[in-house]
Structure 1
Amino acid sequence: MSHIEIRTVEVVKYITPLREGGSLPAIVEASDGFLYVLKFRGAGQGKKALISEFMGGELARAIGLKVPELVFMHLDDSFSKTEPDEEIQDLLKFSVGLNLGLHYLSSAITYDPLVSEADALTSSKIVLLDSIISNIDRTVKNTNLLNWHKELWVIDHGASFYFHHNWPIWEQHLNRSFPLIKDHVLLERATKLTEASEGIIGALTPEVIEDIVSKIPEDWLHNESDTMRPESIKAAYITYLNSRLSKIDVLVKEANDAR
């Protein structure tokens, strides 16, 4: 089994904000010379959105979906001092430290359900992944899918794992399915859910899940509002994911029924 390796790079240039998202991500240049979409720890949902983004992306990659490379991005305090826009200045100030970057896919176009192509197996994998990670944000209004070089790429998993915004009752989510799958942009095309589920079970072994969760930066697991310790939080993510996978047949049935 191959362990995932996540590179850490420095932000060297702030290029432009992306105003589509509520969290004001930005295109930045990193110390490796590449451009990234930077997701800020100082944005609305804070570090928890970065954890969701990271885990969702790496789980997607593990099951064979196309995902831009994810990197940890270190931002220093010099950027906020030269930024004229007050809103962005504050965001930069509150985001000093470790953030998350996605490799920028230049000239990629947003997936459009009316004209873009998506094959049945890929669609089925994405639908089931989103059921597993409780991703409420892949709808017709906001597809969070890109077409790049005639392939479908998945991005933006920050709205997943929403149970972690209320740790005291997280275990109540272990027995829930995911009725919101009825709004999924790819549901109509997801006609190979059983085949997709077999591939997902084969790919997301307990070892793979543990490896992904173990890479969450310690710093992101500390929140003033949380009483759980970082190691307990990691254990909860692992328990949650293994529980979802043990119920994948229920999620397949739910998605099929909704379709």
Structure 2
Amino acid sequence: MRKLRTVNVTRYITPLREGGSLPALAEADDDFKYVLKFKGAGHGVKALIAELLGGEIARTLKLNVPELVFAHLDEAFGRTEADEEIQDLLQFSQGLNLALHYLSGAVTYDMAVNDCEALLASKIVWLDAYITNVDRTFRNTNLLIWHKELWLIDHGAAFYFHHSWNNWEQTSKTPFSLIKDHVLLPKAAFLTTVDEELKALLTDERLKKIVNLIPEEWLQWETADITPEEIKNTYFEFLKTRRDHSQIFVKQAEDARKTLI
């Protein structure tokens, strides 16, 4: 299991206003450009945790995901920013954030123009049903074509159970009804076929290592009387239980697909 690199943000280039949490294009001290996700935005560190877990699970399933890095924002960063909204965002995001390597020249996946073969579509639909990702629809595909390959981005809306936190066990064993809106569902003809293959990649050891990537800085939740270790263990148990009951969300996806074809 690889460790995520940590970079220091050196330049805020421009906001990416199509994202609800106001991500930004930024440059770091390794001279690469990144799409920067801020802990001071929207759902805060929980969105970053979802992005981290979703991205690394996708990578484990051998799907294309831009490199994820931890991105450090110095307390002095952004003081000269003229936009007050952005200045506040930068101020509230001091410390460790998350960034995705910027895929320069990538274009948004368009189902009317771009193809996706059925096996790959099935794996992506399986992933999103597994991590309860509500945000891969016709309206917002969160898929890019880069160097003639399909790349997955933006998993910050996954794991919606963690916004209430008190029903994780029940949620881990439920179908995912919103899969009916998935942009690739019509093409996902091999959900049952990929089920065993993907579950085999998500071993307990692998899931534990992915969860242990979450920085302690993101686990200091004022709204929950729970320790960082307990939070990590809940994510692990959620992922393990949902994997072991995958037939529930696979059947939901297959049933939803039948209504589309």
The TM-score bracket by the shorter chain reads over 0.9
Contact 1:143 1:185 in 2 (8 A): yes
1:54 & 1:170 partners in 2: Cα distance?
18
SS in 1 for 2:167: helix
Return the alpha-carbon distance in structure 1 between the equivalents of residues 130 and 173 of structure 2: 12
Structural RMSD (CA): 0.9
Provide the residue aligned with 2:240 in structure 1: 242
Does the CA-based 8 Å contact 2:51-2:156 persist in structure 1?
yes
Match of 2:80 among 79, 82, 88: 82
SS in structure 2 at match of 1:79: coil
Instruction: Tell me the equivalent position of 2:209.
Output: 211
From 131, 150, 153, the counterpart of 2:151:
153
Q: 2:9 & 2:95 partners in 1: Cα distance?
A: 10
Match of 1:42 among 40, 43, 46: 40
* Residues in 1 aligned to 2:87 and 2:218: alpha-carbon distance in whole angstroms: 21
Deviations 1:82-101 (A, max 9, x none): 10000000000000000000
Q: Please give the residue correspondences for 1:64-143 in structure 2 after superposition, counting only pairs within 5 Å.
A: 64-143=62-141
Cα distance in structure 1, aligned partners of 2:58 and 2:23: 21
Query: Residue 4 of structure 1: CA displacement?
Result: 2.3
Question: How far is the alpha carbon of 1:179 from its aligned partner?
Answer: 1.0
Displacement of 1:244 after TM fit?
A: 1.0
Deviation of residue 10 (structure 1)? 0.4
Deviation at 1:37, TM superposition (A): 0.3
CA distance in 2: counterparts of 1:63 and 1:174, whole angstroms: 19
Q: Name the counterpart of 1:27.
A: 25
Is the contact made by 1:4 and 1:211 (CA closer than 8 Å) also made in structure 2?
no
Distance 2:114 2:39 in 1: 32
Q: CA deviation at 1:171?
A: 2.5
TM-score, L = length of structure 2? 0.96
Q: Which runs of 4+ in 1 moved over 6 A?
A: none
**Given the two structures, how large is their TM-score scaled by the length of structure 1?**
0.97
Gaps of 5+ in 1: none
Q: Which amino acid in the other structure matches residue 220 of structure 1? A: W
Identity, % of aligned pairs? 59
Instruction: Tell whether the 8 Å contact from 2:131 to 2:159 is kept in structure 1 after alignment.
Output: yes
Which of 4, 7, 26 is the matching residue for 1:6? 4
Verify the 8 A CA contact 1:11 1:75 in the aligned structure 2.
yes
